[in-house]
Amino acid sequence: MKVYIIGLGLIGGSMALDIQRLYENAEIIGIDSNENHLNEALSIELIHQKGNINDDFDGDFVILAVPVDVALVLLPKVLDSISENTLVFDVGSTKKPICEVVENHPKRSNFLATHPIAGTEFSGPKAAIENLFEDKVNIICEIEKTAYKKQEKALEFFRNLKMRIRYMETKSHDKHIAYVSHLSHISSFMLGKTVIEKEKDEKDIFDMAGSGFESTVRLAKSSPSMWTPIFKQNKKQIVKSLEEYIANLSSFKSFLESDDYEAIFNEMKNTNRIKEILK
């Protein structure tokens, strides 16, 4: 198994760890525009050697694990210089733009659009962890545009990672993921901001923060370089989800202001359904 990994952050790095664990003779060539990350990945043995973005790509897979704006630039270039049997797959959190950018590329059938729903709030090579993908969902878009043999090879790889596969249209993916992922990040970032701003006047309030606050604000530790281009690419859907979220918060506030505690109780009671849903 010979694999190029472009982008040695949490996702690329974790894939590297699993490939080494699963394939005895794996050869992993790492590429990263951040020279420090590249050296770090080599020194902690995520990768076996350094590569260069201008290489010719052969082997089994090229994994494109870079911020989604960079992916739009790199994917066509990478496809230009891969050998016939190599499959490139991306792992980005938006799927419509990346599929559109290679829609008419002569090597389109060498590409598979995927989104492994896995991660933590940390980033960089040292954030890589083994088994990150076990039991996680991997969403695959436009499967029919990838050459059949290459589909099979990729699916076998994802099966080895123990991922559950789900097929979706790019537009549906981007719409749904706005709600269950992108919106959570914004709600968390803005909660963190609200409390930090309050702290300017009122010292030491974080002393009072319990595990509830920590859990709700965890995603506010995420990388701005990774998330800004995601928000940009999925702007329309995110604005819509934010409008709905703000409307729900405003209506909760109105119930409070008008002392309608029955409504407040019911809002929470109905939302308790999340217990069953997330099981």
Report 124-143 residues binding a second copy (CB under 8 A): 136-137, 139
Residue 130, classified by CB atoms within 10 Å of its CB into exposed (0-12), middle (13-18) or buried (19+), is: exposed
The CA distance from 237 to 148, in Å, is 32
Q: Give min distance, CB of 84 to a second copy, in A.
A: 33
Residues 13-42 that bind a second copy (CB under 8 A): none
C-alpha distance from residue 149 to each of 76, 103, 157 (Å): 21, 19, 13
- Of residues 81-110, which lie at the interface with a second copy (CB under 8 A)? none
> How many helices and strands in the chain, by DSSP H and E?
12, 8
Give me the least distance between CB of 146 and a second copy, in Å please. 21
Smaller CB distance to a second copy: residue 21 or 221?
221
> Per the structure block, which two tokens stand in for 183?
């919106």
Site for a second copy in 161-200 (CB under 8 A): 166, 172, 175-177, 179-181, 183-199
Shortest gap between Cβ of 24 and a second copy (angstroms)? 30
Q: Count residues contacting a second copy (CB under 8 A)?
A: 91
**In angstroms, rounded to a whole number, what is the distance separating the alpha carbons of residues 257 and 237?**
30
| Inter-residue contact 120 to 97 (CB < 8 Å) | no
Of residues 219 through 278, those in contact with a second copy by CB under 8 A are 219-222, 224-225, 227-229, 231-232, 235, 238-239, 241-246, 248-250, 252-253, 256-257, 259, 261, 264-275, 277-278
Distance in angstroms (rounded) separating the CA atoms of residues 139 and 131: 18
Q: Binding mask 203-222 vs a second copy (x if CB under 8 A, - otherwise)?
A: --xxxxxxxxxxxxxxxxxx
Q: Which is nearer to a second copy, 109 or 131 (CB)?
A: 131
In the bound state with a second copy, the residue whose beta carbon lies nearer, of 98 and 220, is 220
- Nearer to a second copy (CB atom), residue 45 or residue 199: 199
Q: Closest distance between a second copy and the C-beta of residue 72, in Å? A: 15
Pairwise CA distance, residues 206 & 224, whole Å: 23
DSSP 135: T
Kindly state the smallest distance separating residue 31's Cβ from a second copy, in Å: 24
Residues in the chain: 279
Residue type, 150: K
Around 38, how many Cα atoms within 13 Å sit in the side-chain half-sphere?
15
Pick the closer one to a second copy by CB: 137 or 149: 137
Name the DSSP class of 222: S
The residue (of 148 and 261) whose beta carbon lies closer to a second copy is: 261
